[in-house]
Amino acid sequence: MIDRGKHNLLGVRIDAVDYEAAVEQIVAAARARCPMAVSALAVHGLMTGVLDPPHRYRLNRFDLLVPDGQPVRWALNLLHGVRLGERVYGPNLMLEVCRRAEEFSLPVLLYGGTPDLLAALEERLLARFGGLQIAGAMPSRFRRLTPAERDRTVDEIRATGAAITFVGLGCPRQEVWAYEFRRALSMPLIAVGAAFAFHAGRLPQAPDYLQRRGLEWCYRLTHEPGRLWRRYLLLNPLYVGLLWLQMAGLRRFDPQNCLPPAEELLYG
């Protein structure tokens, strides 16, 4: 088990952990009914915090930010010498947490996506983990919530008896949701990005050989060019350039150099 603490990457503090350490922390919080905000960050998720100071404030108050993308893992190894042998890929993290949730009889809740997507996801998870308790599946409203709707959502989630909530609202909405709901819900809230679509069979995953080489983005770009071209063709080069500045000591990225968000966004 590897847990070498949080390290500054372009002003965002990423946890140098492996799957085992991440899952142990999540399961411990779930069993103790402790609030916990978790996300798996690839380059795009990291850059949302680099370019948006209020969002950087949110991310730096997460309990666990794992290195989802190979370029994020490589940067941690180069800058901080943490010697991580593998990334902690969000979709795989979700499966590992489900495996342990089944072992400890910890009910999970699925939040986000459409009713059809959630139905397919629930069916496939139960086929894979026969003893997994799925306490509920709540689709996204695809808009901001009112304060009253936020309070009802909290009450509805509490009423399910869930011990862990997986959040699939897309980046960065899911991280905003986990940050804003974490104090009201005494459980891990895990932002897992495209994991819902992958595990529901709605979106193909890149082959392992591309994932190992940090080229998953190329595969996804060919499948969703209209939605993803700005994310990858603009943010990836910017990430490399800023990373070079940090490595060379030409620019200092201070995680504390940001103010809290002026308002709640209440994505739902």
User: 228-254, pLDDT tens digit by residue?
Assistant: 667 777 888 999 999 999 999 999 999
What average pLDDT is seen over the chain? 94
Q: What is the pTM of this model?
A: 0.94
Rounded-to-integer distance, Cα 188 and Cα 109, Å:
11
Query: Where along the chain do its domains lie?
Result: 3-199
**Residue of 164, 162, 134, 158 lying closest to 28 (CA atoms):** 164
Q: What is the phi/psi pair of residue 144, to 5°?
A: -75, 145
- Residues 76-102: pLDDT tens digits? 999 999 999 999 999 999 999 999 999
Q: Which pair of tokens denotes residue 40?
A: 């798996």
Instruction: Give the H or E element holding residue 189.
Output: strand 188-191
Question: Given this model, what pLDDT does residue 217 score?
Answer: 67
Cβ 11 vs Cβ 246: under 8 Å? no
Sequence-separated (6 or more) residues with CB below 8 Å from residue 163: 30, 31, 33, 101, 106, 107, 108, 135, 187
Task: Average the pLDDT over each of 15-29, 32-46, 209-223, 243-257 and give the range with the smallest value.
Answer: 209-223
- Say if residues 201 and 120 touch (Cβ distance below 8 Å): yes
Q: Which residues of 66-105 are buried (b: 16+ CB within 10 A; e: fewer)?
A: bbbbbbbbebbeeebebebeebbbbbbbbbbbbebbbeee
Segment 159-188 mean pLDDT? 97
pLDDT at 193: 82
Confidence of residue 226 (pLDDT cuts 50, 70, 90): low
pLDDT of residue 235: 85
Q: Determine the topology of domain 3-199 in CATH.
A: Rossmann fold (3.40.50)
- Eight-state DSSP code of residue 94: H
- How wide is the angle at C-alpha 234 spanned by C-alphas 230 and 237, nearest 5°? 150
By percentage, how much of the chain surpasses pLDDT 70? Answer: 96
Let me know the angle formed at the C-alpha of 101 by 96 and 104, rounded to the nearest 5 degrees. Answer: 130
Give, as one character, the DSSP assignment of residue 144: B
CB distance 144 to 170 below 8 Å: no
